[in-house]
Structure 1
């Protein structure tokens, strides 16, 4: 999906997401009214660590890679953001520089609400701060869970949990994740060889299906059993 989308297309995509679908009608309408489409080619940078805030983004198609780079130049892949997920909300709250790099992992379309338009909206409707706070705290809960997983879980349940988290806003009957195995392994801090071995075992059990740079979750319930109890606090 590389061409510009109609308003109806955008609404259909965004309302699949848990956060956006939970907003009241007025706020949804404002985010449509104030937003604009941005097209990126694979490998094109959206923003870099240290850049000034440029607003809030939602992925309409493709995916965005969020990374950090150490002083030795080594890149750490934190996550891949897919449709219909939102990102960039940290800078909305503190108006500080971007904390990480964001780059198109594949050709993608984004929906962007510029920073100044968002702050004007929130000045007029301060009651909406709580809605954006929910977006931020959801990410914070996931971050705590992932830190705990790295410290306490073996590779298999850690990988299972990450797949479930990535697929939580997908159609339950069609959970297909666009992610190369080496990227998934980097996100989890495990080797590509170990990642491939675990995925092959899950495929042999009929829990997932592997394709080129894609992972389809066939049996979420069994994957959940492997992952154990997800953090709900």
Structure 2
């Protein structure tokens, strides 16, 4: 993969990464100076399932999907990443292999830091290690909650949970979906037809409104009840 030296804007982007949110400017500068920036074209694979996890990736610009593929070619999207999101941190710290594949969905810029570099920096600076551990623990709790919401219920409930999660992350009840409907269907473990029906039913019920990929939540209470399994969509 082609690598380019970081620009001066990389430090600013790093300061907005949740994993590094508790780091000081000096700590952020240390991370920046010991990392590489990867420019990935649309469709470019960043890593494959089963390969050794040797470093941490952070998406600075663009969009990356984390997915598994069956021998028949069926794809299950596990996560769609936006700017500021880290990935591969768990297998890297565990010293294992990547549990899934990563591919750029659109032209993307990714920061890559080797595990050896991170470990050396953390050994030198206990504050950096504790700050990263706190942020990583919080992220794992959020992921566990999301997995429970998106995998243990029927498609309408999974969709409601996802729409509420997006509203929480974007801090607005009106937002643009961060992935295509095809990718969203794969992420929710549904067919495109099932997703389209669920979206249409939510809109017909007056719980949301849609304008292309722009979603507006109109009835948060009913969406929350649906996502928790306390309400069925008619």
Seen in structure 2, the aligned counterparts of structure 1 residues 192 and 224 have a Cα distance that, compared at 3 Å, is farther
User: 2:167, 2:174 within 8 Å by CA — same for their partners in 1?
Assistant: no
Residue aligning to 1:227: 224
Aligned counterparts, 1:143-162, within 5 A: 143-150=143-150, 152-162=152-162
1:135 Cα shift?
3.9
1:72 Cα shift?
4.4
Aligned counterparts, 1:99-138, within 5 A: 99-138=99-138
Distance 1:79 1:87 in 2: 10
Gaps of 5+ in 2: 229-234
TM-score (norm 2): 0.78
User: 1:49, 1:99 within 8 Å by CA — same for their partners in 2?
Assistant: yes
User: 1:66, 1:77 within 8 Å by CA — same for their partners in 2?
Assistant: yes
User: 2:18, 2:135 within 8 Å by CA — same for their partners in 1?
Assistant: no
Q: Which has the larger radius of gyration?
A: 2
Gaps of 5+ in 1: none
Residue aligning to 1:7: 8
Describe the SS at the equivalent of 2:177: strand
Distance 1:26 1:224 in 2: 44
Distance 2:150 2:49 in 1: 24
Aligned length: 224
Residue aligning to 1:83: 83
Seen in structure 2, the aligned counterparts of structure 1 residues 182 and 23 have a Cα distance that, compared at 3 Å, is same
Residue aligning to 2:232: none
TM-score (norm 1): 0.78
1:132 Cα shift?
2.8
Q: 1:89-144, CA deviations, whole angstroms, 9 ceiling, x for partnerless residues?
A: 11331222222111111111112222221121112124433333334333432343
Distance 1:4 1:218 in 2: 40
Residue aligning to 2:186: 186
